[in-house]
Structure 1
């Protein structure tokens, strides 16, 4: 890694989240000497790249730091000799997301961007692209780290781990959201709360919650039983049934509502889609407003409205992770990485979401051992789905795809799985050459 200044490449540079990433690098400049940031996008994203790139330049200018912002549609030129590559792209943009969310609802199945059939469709489109990016990394910057926050992050990270030589770590903002939720419930500052996590991306539980090092899990669970909430921007916030949450005895992430409260969530998703459109439709409006703000030549900070997006704090987590690798910090962060025996009940080569020690060699998951039977079954089934979905995405294998959707807990039968799969393949045929 260059000591004279780091080269960072962000693929999906035209994303509305980019200002948060730039802010993260600016505020860590003393410990992370970033010299060049390349924001890369595709032809369809060119206009957004220009708008967000110019805001990034104004932010850097305001900071007075010696950082160069480069905007390009040439991915290979950008990747050459990079130290870190971050990925935050969406194949098919928001229109594809809206279709992912809408299609399953016709069959009374949850339509969600990363969970169930919607996440499956997104994975099929995304995994071939990430593997293509990895070929460039292997050739042009083989020592670089890939920091992925493209969803479905766990599956994307696992595909890279199984099919490439690239050093890669996946990131998600859900664990950060859970910590800030617990801090809010306890009415304390975030830095006083820590958690032990176990599970997969968007399927994670906090088995222990600590305040200043003291275990307060029972207290947090009791507050949740009495109606305190730890909601996320993009997921409905039904209260947990008191006896259910007490009997679980741990803190489930918001995405677990799709499994534990499936009936309510499906019902709400169907009525929402009729009244105001799916979450993707809402996000599209938020994005349009953000990009209007970003165009303002006097704007030189990350606008507070960005917090309305469900993925806020992602980018800050990415900067923190990059700094820990670069500075060999050996601190603990919650990331997606290869299991390597940390969870005894899962294969070694699959990706889990857990607390890891981060150093210059990457992420080392802290040993978890066996998991409680309360959550073990759900983790097993969803991991089987992920493994099959990755095989389907990589090889264009229809049979793996059908089995993946059939085993998914949110899909009621093999017949429904087949109907949804056939529609996904038809709807996404321009993005799925592997199935031709």
Structure 2
């Protein structure tokens, strides 16, 4: 099978290739095509992949190209992992938002809207090209904001585009671990949007073990979300939120912490990865060693401001291993080999959550087979969660409308309606600030 990775010069691509190297079964990926707009980044990542493959017999062949159509032709699977505007764009998203006193995180709040506005037109162009050049391909979307971008692409690809995220997987794994259960044997009742979901139950052998966790303060406070949100708040919710809900539940404290840091997350990653890619220009550099070192630093500092605000301390070693590449491999296997699997994915609603229409992309457990991902029926969310999900989905729809119509007024509306912006005047300043720094938003009129 041929796998095309868009954003193939991205820093996390070796995680995907590393997962492919573990697959020795019939029908596996044998050809990987890396596509990127930046030749030097492609060269750097290809070096890391060569070192990964050196110790693996019959590793998937890797080629690289800057020609998008060439990369897509004949693909069986397409991974979309692009970052429109690069890490400099992410840093600008953070800086402009924080100057107005609101959150600039890349998927949540003002930063997520800005990122979506400049990413959706590019993602739509990719979807149209896939439909024309590789109509039988399955698109697995890694690109953030994942739910929003997946919904934009689904308007052209239908159910052949599926969004993935490692946050629900990691959350379920942590809960199962503290309960002494095997994550592979647990059913995780997780419902919401990407980066906006809640675990409401974890069933092992038909028994819901979440009440036992909520009743035990020591267990509840022993893992990442317990430290991040606090035992009392989790008990009040009666559920375990995705870590990204910290931006909503503790927004003022988080914004204050972000305003006080020497470098925002985007600026930190931009500097860190620039050093890595610069090092890769040296022919004698040990590519895989340099990549491993950089990745370890990246993972250890993930959501550092939130953990500092909550007094959560350092991340546990078990939480530094990523996971989205494993979700992607499991998804490909299930589709390509009809190996049925249950995965938490971003797919079209199709009536799963009655408060949203059929085409709204949600994040829920899905049964996956050769015909794609099928969302599992779930119980309704409580009112507080329903309100937040509907509000954020409404904002996503305004972003899609702004991108389609090139309407600056609709972009202002998207910002103004977000719960973490909540001011029309601030929304106008955000649109002005973002259009000043992002060439990718020049289309807004």
Shorter-chain TM-score above 0.5: yes
Report the Cα distance in structure 1 between the residues aligned to 2:21 and 2:246, rounded to whole angstroms. Answer: 36
Match of 1:280 in 2: 266
> Per-residue deviation at 1:352?
0.1
> Per-residue deviation at 1:220?
2.6
Deviation string, structure 1 residues 213-271 (Cα, Å, up to 9, x no partner): 53111233345687625438xxxx96435443212101101110111111211111111
Deviation string, structure 1 residues 350-381 (Cα, Å, up to 9, x no partner): 00000001111111000114222131111111
Deviation string, structure 1 residues 38-96 (Cα, Å, up to 9, x no partner): 00100xx2212101112212322321115210011111111111100101111111000
Match of 1:315 in 2: 325
3-state SS of paired residue (2:197): strand
Q: Which moved more, 1:206-215 or 1:83-92?
A: 206-215
Q: 1:245 to 1:327 in 2, by over 3 A?
A: same
Within the candidate set 31, 49, 65, 1:36 is matched to: 31
After superposition, where does 1:258-297 map in structure 2 within 5 Å? 258-272=247-261, 276-288=262-274, 290-291=276-277, 296-297=285-286
Within the candidate set 38, 41, 46, 1:53 is matched to: 46
Matched, 1:103 2:96: yes
3-state SS of paired residue (2:190): strand
Match of 1:182 in 2: 175
Report the Cα distance in structure 1 between the residues aligned to 2:40 and 2:75, rounded to whole angstroms. Answer: 24
Match of 1:434 in 2: 443
Deviation string, structure 1 residues 328-351 (Cα, Å, up to 9, x no partner): 122110000000001111111100
Report the Cα distance in structure 1 between the residues aligned to 2:416 and 2:287, rounded to whole angstroms. Answer: 52
Match of 1:373 in 2: 383
Q: Which moved more, 1:175-184 or 1:413-422?
A: 175-184
Match of 1:3 in 2: none
> Per-residue deviation at 1:208?
0.7
Matched, 1:359 2:354: no
Q: 1:174 to 1:23 in 2, by over 3 A?
A: same
TM-score by length of structure 1 reads: 0.90
- Number of residue-to-residue matches in the alignment: 421
Report the Cα distance in structure 2 between the residues aligned to 1:48 and 1:385, rounded to whole angstroms. Answer: 34
Match of 1:149 in 2: 142
Report the Cα distance in structure 1 between the residues aligned to 2:287 and 2:12, rounded to whole angstroms. Answer: 19
Q: 1:299 to 1:371 in 2, by over 3 A?
A: closer
After superposition, where does 1:6-405 map in structure 2 within 5 Å? 6-42=1-37, 45-164=38-157, 167-186=160-179, 190-211=183-204, 213-223=206-216, 228=221, 230-231=223-224, 239-272=228-261, 276-288=262-274, 290-291=276-277, 296-297=285-286, 299=288, 303=292, 306-307=295-296, 308-309=298-299, 310=302, 312-405=322-415
Q: 1:86 to 1:224 in 2, by over 3 A?
A: farther
Q: Root-mean-square deviation (CA), in Å?
A: 2.4
Structure 1 residues without counterparts, runs of 5 or longer: 1-5
Are the counterparts in 1 of residues 98 and 259 from structure 2 also a CA contact under 8 Å?
yes
Report the Cα distance in structure 2 between the residues aligned to 1:198 and 1:31, rounded to whole angstroms. Answer: 34
Report the Cα distance in structure 1 between the residues aligned to 2:276 and 2:205, rounded to whole angstroms. Answer: 37
Report the Cα distance in structure 2 between the residues aligned to 1:328 and 1:301, rounded to whole angstroms. Answer: 38
> Per-residue deviation at 1:135?
1.9
Are the counterparts in 1 of residues 221 and 231 from structure 2 also a CA contact under 8 Å?
no
Q: 1:212 to 1:47 in 2, by over 3 A?
A: farther
TM-score by length of structure 2 reads: 0.88
> Per-residue deviation at 1:198?
0.4
Are the counterparts in 2 of residues 138 and 165 from structure 1 also a CA contact under 8 Å?
no
Q: 1:239 to 1:94 in 2, by over 3 A?
A: closer
Are the counterparts in 2 of residues 9 and 38 from structure 1 also a CA contact under 8 Å?
yes
Structure 2 residues without counterparts, runs of 5 or longer: 303-320
Are the counterparts in 1 of residues 188 and 203 from structure 2 also a CA contact under 8 Å?
yes
Report the Cα distance in structure 1 between the residues aligned to 2:222 and 2:273, rounded to whole angstroms. Answer: 26
